[in-house]
A and B are shown apart, each in its own frame.
Chain A
């Protein structure tokens, strides 16, 4: 009953009083190991491969070289048959002319 009365009194309190009741408390602290977790996350990020600028530059260079190689191979595979076709056409035309 006493408890209920206290609750009712609280409900009737002005909002400002309720706010000050909620505000007037000691700041509570998080878990003790939170700082270690933060430090661990930061050091993991720093060690991570993709976060280092040097690694990014190296990977970009490797990617460009691979793409250039692929382009060369592709163009050779297309150009080879084209050249053969061109030569055979020239040969046929020349033959026709000399006949």
Chain B
């Protein structure tokens, strides 16, 4: 039986910060963190120590973050449709609220720009970048979490950087 309090103490910062990198919003990141630990508790029987606990929690976290982004996009599309029919408020048409400790510093504007660009990357590239560069996980661990080969991770990172450079050149 998994001690959820102990698991939370060990992994809560890891989960919260990964979610924060994905979602750029503190409230959403907290919601995802809560969801992740409840899922970990509920699905512990399915886990059965087949993989590394950290890897498994990362996987759940990434899936929840992607679900959250999809749900937000859906809401955004819906509210855009509603605006066509009347004066419905565009609730979710708010600019990405970039949240990062470093944004409090002088680099705020440029960092916000970079983080917004990262949000525009395809899901796989974004995941590889966040895990490898921000969470600073070794590539074999990123590959394990994403369920791909190390070569594939290398390729995803290369393409992500290319994408970002193209976006920067367009600016």
A interface residue numbers (CB < 8 A to B): 3, 6-7, 10-11, 15, 18-23, 25-31, 34-35, 37-39, 41-42, 45
A25 to B13, CA, bound (A): 12
A20 to B129, CA, bound (A): 12
Could you list some 27 contacts between A and B, CB below 8 A?
A6-B106, A10-B107, A10-B111, A18-B111, A18-B114, A19-B129, A20-B133, A21-B107, A21-B111, A23-B135, A25-B101, A27-B13, A27-B17, A28-B13, A28-B16, A28-B17, A28-B101, A29-B16, A30-B33, A31-B30, A34-B33, A34-B34, A38-B34, A38-B38, A38-B41, A41-B38, A42-B38
- CB nearest neighbor in A for B136: A23
Interface pair A34/B12, CB less than 8 Å apart: yes
A7 contact from B30, B33, B109, B115, Cβ within 8 A: B109
Determine the chain A residues whose CB is within 8 A of the CB of B22 once the complex forms.
none
Determine the chain B residues whose CB is within 8 A of the CB of A21 once the complex forms.
102, 107, 111
Determine the chain B residues whose CB is within 8 A of the CB of A29 once the complex forms.
12-13, 16
B interface residue numbers (CB < 8 A to A): 4-5, 8, 12-14, 16-17, 20, 26, 29-30, 33-34, 37-38, 41-42, 100-102, 106-107, 109-111, 114-115, 129, 133-136, 161, 164-165, 168
Determine the chain A residues whose CB is within 8 A of the CB of B168 once the complex forms.
11
Determine the chain B residues whose CB is within 8 A of the CB of A28 once the complex forms.
13, 16-17, 20, 101
A20 to B114, CA, bound (A): 13
Interface pair A22/B134, CB less than 8 Å apart: yes
- CB nearest neighbor in A for B17: A27
Interface pair A35/B8, CB less than 8 Å apart: yes
Interface pair B30/A34, CB less than 8 Å apart: yes
CB of A20 to closest CB in B, whole Å: 8
Further contacts, 18 of them, CB under 8 A, given A29-B12, A31-B30: A7-B109, A10-B110, A10-B111, A18-B114, A20-B133, A21-B102, A23-B134, A23-B136, A25-B102, A27-B17, A28-B13, A28-B16, A34-B12, A34-B34, A35-B12, A38-B37, A42-B38, A42-B41
Determine the chain A residues whose CB is within 8 A of the CB of B135 once the complex forms.
23
A11 to B106, CA, bound (A): 12
- CB nearest neighbor in B for A11: B110
Determine the chain B residues whose CB is within 8 A of the CB of A34 once the complex forms.
12, 30, 33-34
